[in-house]
Homo-oligomer: A and B are copies of this chain.
């Protein structure tokens, strides 16, 4: 069984136990001939896939009334993988979602590493630093690099800790953020788990 999670920049495939990525710009989805279940947030790719019969969009199997209309399908699938916890999906955006007893309780969106770095740089060249993930978040900073790192990382960490729930960490930057959330469950396959749960429930696998 082939699954695919398509973001703005990559196709992320799962073939049984093996996962691999392809670039959105160069990969041709019509090369895949077998049945493949997917979710997609990329507007352009979505259009192409509509014309390919073997590509099956799992978004139509979601009960959207549990979520909200403009919520990304990747966030929804991650929520479908967890019964109780806070899900931190660290990609181009960082989405933080709460699930209690299988029910989505709301969530927020924070900029990812690249977008936030550019935000500081656009304010002033004096703030053009890469983030220091080793910064001591229990101490108020006294230099510029740590002052922006704390501003970005400590505020996110405190908010996530404040829920006092199990933390599930996923997305392309999950390993970087694992330093901030040392007791979290790091699971880069979380979205695929949600997709499988939806398929089981819809009886299509």
Which chain A residues have a beta carbon within 8 Å of chain B's beta carbons? 8, 67-68, 70-72, 92-93, 95-96, 98, 105-112, 115-116, 118-120, 122-124, 126-127, 139-144, 147-148, 150-152, 154-156, 158-159, 162
A124, A141, A162: which has the most chain B beta carbons within 10 Å?
Answer: A124
Q: Which of A110, A115, A151, A154 is most buried by chain B, counting CB atoms within 10 A of its CB? A: A151
Q: Decide: B111 and A119 in contact? CB cutoff 8 A.
A: yes
Is the pair B109, A68 in contact by a Cβ cutoff of 8 Å?
A: no
Given the interface pairs A106-B142, A108-B150, the reply to whether A123 lies near B92 with Cβ below 8 Å is: yes
Closest B residue, CB atoms, query A111: B119
A146→B139 CA distance, assembly (Å) = 30
Task: Establish whether residues B108 and A142, one from each chain, have CB atoms under 8 Å apart when the complex forms.
Answer: no
Q: How far apart are A126's CB and chain B's nearest CB, in angstroms? A: 7
Q: Choose among B98, B106, B142 the residue that contacts A68 (Cβ–Cβ < 8 A).
A: B142
